[in-house]
Structure 1
């Protein structure tokens, strides 16, 4: 006699492949199209974390990826569940965050007859993901889930989407043998390009490293730090690369970036596009030789000519550029003197006594309470821009922001995932009062799941990122840029099961922050900040 093959419904087949891929949590908002997946996760021991809006589920999946460097997973119900989650998918695409989004779908056998939430998701999801597909039959499910993870993990990493018709996911099929998941194979950079880059570095008097998010995804931080130390190259970091070289390392800089990039003779641009954040390449001097280094070829052409392009495994590439060149001590000393002077110049703002508070005073007090491995999440405009300028990171995965897609409302999902992934670490959510309006109800989610995130709000009663530039452009006139002054968002957090406090003066701030950290509950410190303070911007968004 032969054993009958084990049969499972589609949701169990999905959950088995999630477990094989190392998934421990699924972020979701309840929907009938997903019941089979939930039941499968219950059998396979995968935790289900339910939120109050599908956008948060997708952002939580991205947040999980950002703090673990493993794919995060969200499950969204059909129709509006998918459309609600699309901003998170678009964000993950631009941030190269590996996530897998599982969608519900109206039943295939009734297609075209007007089932509840019947719509073909694939055509409109496809532009914001690396893969968009529909399971055609129950036996296809395991292979399709594995394909989604393989695509999400393949450089450039990013989001993958698969939806499952209601009938297909509820029907049964033979369960395949559970197979191990192999890591994607790393490619190596072109040897001739490496030699070209070596020749440039060997003659560089003023080299600089500008590294970004893909350094983090490519796990290249140790090799980058070794290269910088071997050649004495100053390092600047943005995006998820912040913390990949500790902020207090002798070669780590932030305040001297404009001078360093503008005067460098050779720039290693590692895992970061020359987009608006780098002036579309104009942040570097016209005669600077640029070496573009990344895990894979970019999706679009560089906005200026580069001297060498090195695409492949970052560890081997960066180790291959090690060596000795001209003495850079004078160059590094010049930048350190400038860095120190600019940090010293910030002191007056960090200690500003005004009330309502200057945003910098908030960060001056907060910095005294942060652990070295605290995870800080930015979700706002001007208030978070100040944080990006002065909050230092000392380890990879400690600074999360929306990235170049700039989608406000990502913060609560990021914070939820970060604290679940690292329950023993401080997780601090920096919020503008405008950003709170997107997904402030997620304080209910944090409270229900016992997730003690500390939120710090800069509440200036305006959309400062829009109001100040609009008034500058139009002679003092602005529209659609005002919020209700002094709104008690702290009381909203308390009503949803958290800890809330209002801060009006600098003297109230430190004690309120200390109580928030000690509360053991999701907390919101609502700090009234001066609406007349405008972040000094110099970048051109377009």
Structure 2
């Protein structure tokens, strides 16, 4: 007879086998023996102040490490509290494993503590949602969870474990331990479709590429650069695609995206859905005569919202390797020169605001000052609305995974979770968070988590005293003075909140104070908040989002 081990030990061993060294949680009795298993197996437990933060941390961990982030939450409200984070990961195709506690099966439907069935609640927002009913099968179910999260289009999974199953002790010799349970292969594109796509791009007068999160998840940044160089095509990026092409690369473009879409005759979409961010592929945002070449690992997204000319189901890295081998040498210099001219004009226009000494501080001036602290050894987390959109267009993001934001679900409050994941998974990096003032109020108390785990994360808040992205659209639709529920307090001292939690705080009202304040924040060696008062109606920035 072998040693007796419980479910917490089995789960921890499977997590360790995946090379995952951190687990994110908010403590709960239904799952507490998983923590014991983590201690036994050298897995650091990071406990947060809200389950949503733990879920976002697991999402962020996967983006930094390319390994499945793991979040453990207790039964009932522990699981419901993590739902938003799971939905965000689902929309962003981010692989994470959520393990949820449950009341014991022997007390099923008797009204025990936190007794509610949540497997079906999680089904619409996960790739896979299951309940384990027998302790010895826990390793088997963990293997299935990791496989589902990390194959095909990545995404979150949910595993519910009743407490009597989790705390059961079984003979270790009677447990099957899966070792090899998912393929590492990469699907190549159909050769005929690849050939047709290469010909269409080469023969086009005005081709363009939009590179999204699929380029990041398939680690295709080198292949993207090589193909763009060979094809002589402009590349734009979104979501986790940001940083997959260095900004000094001659094929990198950003400020001319709108005219590029409206004028291009061949549009290549790499690993990103044609959703609201891409105007659903509709005119006048897109040239209605343009040929669409769409490449994605998930064929269900190919042709969604927009008819394609060529649709290729493939791993993005493999497809780019095939296209590069097929295309030879393209020549679109005139088109590239035209777009570069547009970029120069747009940059000159915003330069005025980036150098503005106006008060309240122009948000583009704030972004310019933040940019001085972003180098290749910095991870930037965007958690907000318009201030994050502006930061994304200004900050020098030049490496895969260097920029993290919510993605298409647009969840506010992801920042603290993403930051703690970056701090533990890449401790050699600086971590800088760009916040809106609204977002700070969602999960800001996890600065306590930063303090407890000695994470010197710096948050810079663009404090315009309102929910600006909503305020702008609401004002445009209904008029000035008809914007209820959009205004925040004029005197909110988020920096003082962080100081009260044991961190460092800075309050900035004048543009010339920004740089020194951020420098002091980094030099403090503590979690820090730089609270910067910005203009709620900045010149030259439309911002907002109109819901009609």
Which TM-score bucket, shorter chain as reference?
Answer: over 0.9
Structure 1 residues 151 and 24, CA gap change in structure 2 (3 angstroms): same
1:200 aligns with 2:200: yes
What is the count of residue pairs matched by the alignment?
A: 539
Q: Is the 8 A contact 1:276 1:540 kept in 2?
A: no
1:118 equivalent in alignment to 2:123: no
Query: Are the equivalent residues in 2 in contact too, given 1:373–1:395 (CA < 8 A)?
Result: no
CA contact (8 A) 2:473 2:546 kept: no
Name the counterpart of 1:270.
270
Q: What's the counterpart of residue 259 of structure 1? A: 259
Matched, 1:416 2:415: no
Cα distance in 2 for partners of 1:39, 1:539 equals 47
Give the match's secondary structure for 2:75.
coil
Q: Is 2:498 the partner of 1:493? A: yes
1:77-99: CA deviation from partner (whole Å, max 9, x where unpaired): 00000000000100000000000
Specify whether residues 183 and 25 from structure 1 end up closer, same or farther in structure 2 by C-alpha distance, changes over 3 A only: farther
Instruction: Indicate conservation of the 8 Å contact 1:64/1:421, yes or no.
Output: yes
Q: 1:536 aligns with which of 530, 536, 542?
A: 542
Secondary structure in 1 matching 2:269: strand
* Runs (5+) with no aligned partner, structure 2: none
Partner of residue 224, structure 2 = 224
Query: In the alignment, does 2:30 pair up with 1:33?
Result: yes
Q: Could you tell me how far apart the structure 2 residues matched to 1:345 and 1:249 are?
A: 22
Q: Is the 8 A contact 2:302 2:308 kept in 1?
A: no
Equivalences for residues 305-316 of structure 1 within 5 A: 305-316=307-318
How big is each residue's C-alpha offset from its partner over 1:101-122, in whole Å with a ceiling of 9 and x where there is no partner? 0111000111111110000111
Q: CA RMSD in A?
A: 1.5
- 1:360 pairs, out of 336, 359, 364, with 364
Pick the aligned partner of 2:158 from 154, 157, 161: 161
Q: Secondary structure at the match of 1:440?
A: helix
Give the distance between the partners of 2:131 and 2:124, measured in 1 at CA.
Answer: 15
The within-5 A match list for 1:273-422 is 273-282=273-282, 283-299=285-301, 301-322=303-324, 323-324=327-328, 326-422=330-426
Task: Tell me, in whole angstroms, the C-alpha distance in 1 between the residues paired with 2:133 and 2:531.
Answer: 50
Tell me what 2:437 maps to. Answer: 433
Match of 2:526 among 496, 521, 525: 521
Distance apart, 1:284 and its partner CA: 2.5
CA-CA distance at 1:337 after TM superposition: 1.5
Quote the residue 1:241 is aligned against.
Answer: 241
Q: Secondary structure at the match of 2:518?
A: helix
Question: Larger deviation: 335-344 or 391-400?
Answer: 335-344
Counterpart selection for 2:167 from 150, 167, 170: 170
Q: Distance in 1 between matches of 2:303 and 2:109?
A: 42
Give the match for residue 12 of structure 1: 9
Q: Is the 8 A contact 2:26 2:49 kept in 1?
A: yes
**Cα distance in 2 for residues equivalent to 1:298 and 1:451:** 40
- Cα deviation, 1:429-450, whole Å, max 9, x if unaligned, reads 1111110110110000000000
SS in 2 for 1:482: coil
How far has the Cα of 1:204 moved from its partner? 1.4
Give the drift of 1:183: 4.0
Q: If the length of structure 1 is used for normalisation, what is the TM-score?
A: 0.97
Q: Give the Å deviation of 1:188.
A: 2.0
TM-score by length of 2: 0.96
Match of 2:512 among 485, 507, 510: 507
Structure 1 residue runs of 5 or longer lacking an equivalent are: none
Deviations 1:494-515 (CA, angstroms, capped at 9, x unpaired): 1001100100101211110100
Conserved in 2, the CA contact under 8 Å of 1:294 and 1:310?
A: yes
Cα distance in structure 1, aligned partners of 2:40 and 2:165: 19
Matched, 1:103 2:109: no
CA distance in 1, matches of 2:496, 2:135: 48
* 1:358-417: CA deviation from partner (whole Å, max 9, x where unpaired): 111111111112222311111111221211222231000011111110110011000110
Q: For the residues of structure 1 that align with 2:299 and 2:538, how far apart are their CA atoms?
A: 41
Give the conservation status (yes or no) of the 8 Å contact 1:501–1:526. yes
